[in-house]
Amino acid sequence: MADPIVRTREDIEADIDAARQRLAGNVENLISQVHPKAIVAHTVADARTFAEGTIAQAKAQVVDERGNLRTERVALLAAAAGGAVTFILVVRSILNGR
């Protein structure tokens, strides 16, 4: 049978002190994570990251790898915008009774 590990009072007190230090650090981290200013900062950072990704995706649709405009896509977007404006004007004209 193996000998049981004998711990001194100082060893036990050191372990308790280390555990107390870890717990204090964990509580401080938790408080800093749920602080309203920290939540706002995380939300702003997430929104900025999302916006940057969305802008990059939109830019990739109209710009090729070399930075040149994809004229066929730009023309398609312009035609779609023109069609939307025309549709709105026609519907508005119908609703106004002209």
pLDDT tens digits, residue range 68-91?
A: 888 898 899 999 999 999 999 999
pTM of the predicted model, to two decimals?
0.47
The predicted pLDDT at position 98 comes to 60
List of residues 6+ apart from 69 with CB closer than 8 A: 62, 63
List of residues 6+ apart from 61 with CB closer than 8 A: 70, 73
Q: How many CB atoms lie within 10 A of CB 77?
A: 13
Q: Which carries the bigger pLDDT value, residue 24 or residue 67? A: 24
pLDDT tens digits, residue range 3-58?
A: 578 889 999 999 999 999 999 999 999 998 888 998 999 999 999 999 999 999 98
In sign, the C-alpha dihedral spanning 37, 39, 43, 48 is: positive
